[in-house]
Amino acid sequence: MKVIHNDLHHLHAAEFEFFRGDKVEAFEKSARADFVLRALQDVKFGEYVERESFPDDVITRVHSARYLNFIRGAHAEYLSLGGKGDAFPSVWSIRGMRSDVEPKNFAARMGLYSFDSGTPLTPGAYAGSRAGADCALTGAKLVAQGERSAFVLTRPPGHHAGSDFFGGYCFLNNAAIAAQYLRDYGASRVAILDVDYHHGNGTQEIFYARDDVFFASIHADPSTDYPFFLGYADEEGEGAGRGFNLNLPLAQGASPESWFAALEVAIAKTRVFKPDALVVSLGVDTYEGDPISHFKLRTREDYPRLGEMIAAMKVPTLFILEGGYAVKEIGDNVVSTLTGFESK
């Protein structure tokens, strides 16, 4: 399997975040990717490929140009206004307020383009995310050119980022960017399977009205878990996209048996769609020891099975790292998934 490692991920390094109203040490940290890289190297897994650089017009197939322009220069603007450290939003545009007019005020634009206070905008947030998008595009290009599979080792994650907003530690939606590239370069139909503990609200928002990209997500019930306001089972798509969005929410504490039952449903629905390529948002915060999640998957028993079931679909597959906050175990959980896939 080809591996594309984001060598610039460390440029995004938050010291703290706001979690349930408290100021806490950041859960999304550089060590996440470092532990995955070490675990891959320990078992000599994969063939490493350098990331290519892609133009902005590939990114703006998914994200709006004004949003991309904002996050590119946001932290520098924050510093120029006297800000120190990482920037956080403090005001948001919600129901009944306008979002079509971009305010001149920096704090207002921070609120316009974000949806939580737990995603620090660091000095390197854009550079790290943009390199990650290039890694995702490099992987997508490899798959489009005939590779059976590839793994994108990057952070910050991406699946909470929408067409014009950041949040959930995410700034650019790597899975969506990769899926769109695959569509643009030969695939008539692309499926995205999101196995992160949290619903991929950004990915859903981007493709919700489309019938050429099928999105399936297994995640915690949004009535109790982040991102709260999207991810319910009755969200099936709209317009041309109706029937091409599948949400499979599970209760906190869901067992491996119930989780894999949901995976079987997701895979069956994906098979019916008959995709030419598959993008997997590989979050391993489903792990039983994750500090901010509440599923029960196990390293040796369950993650290899996940990889094997994905491989059995026999679709060219691009894995992209999303969540996973049990830092010491994240590498083993990712390696177990990928080696499970490779065993089939």
Residue spans of the domains in the chain: they are 2-63+124-342
Tokens representing 2 are 């080809």
Active site residues: 160
Residue range 2-63+124-342, CATH number: 3.40.800.20
pLDDT on residue 19 = 84
CB 49 within 8 A of CB 138: yes
CA distance 333 to 340: 11
**Token pair 């906190």 in the structure block, residue:** 252
pLDDT on residue 83 = 97
pLDDT on residue 271 = 98
CA distance 236 to 135: 30
Report CA Rg, the chain.
18
pLDDT on residue 20 = 79
CB 282 within 8 A of CB 195: yes
pTM of the entire structure?
Answer: 0.98
pLDDT digit of tens for each residue in the chain (344 aa)?
999 999 999 999 999 999 878 899 999 999 999 999 999 999 999 999 999 999 999 999 999 999 999 999 999 999 999 999 999 999 999 999 999 999 999 999 999 999 999 999 999 999 999 999 999 999 999 999 999 999 999 999 999 999 999 999 999 999 999 999 999 999 999 999 999 999 999 999 999 999 999 999 999 999 999 999 999 999 999 999 999 999 999 999 999 999 999 999 999 999 999 999 999 999 999 999 999 999 999 999 999 999 999 999 999 999 999 999 999 999 999 999 999 999 99
CA distance 167 to 201: 10
Give burial (CB, 10 Å; 0-12/13-18/19+) of 283: buried
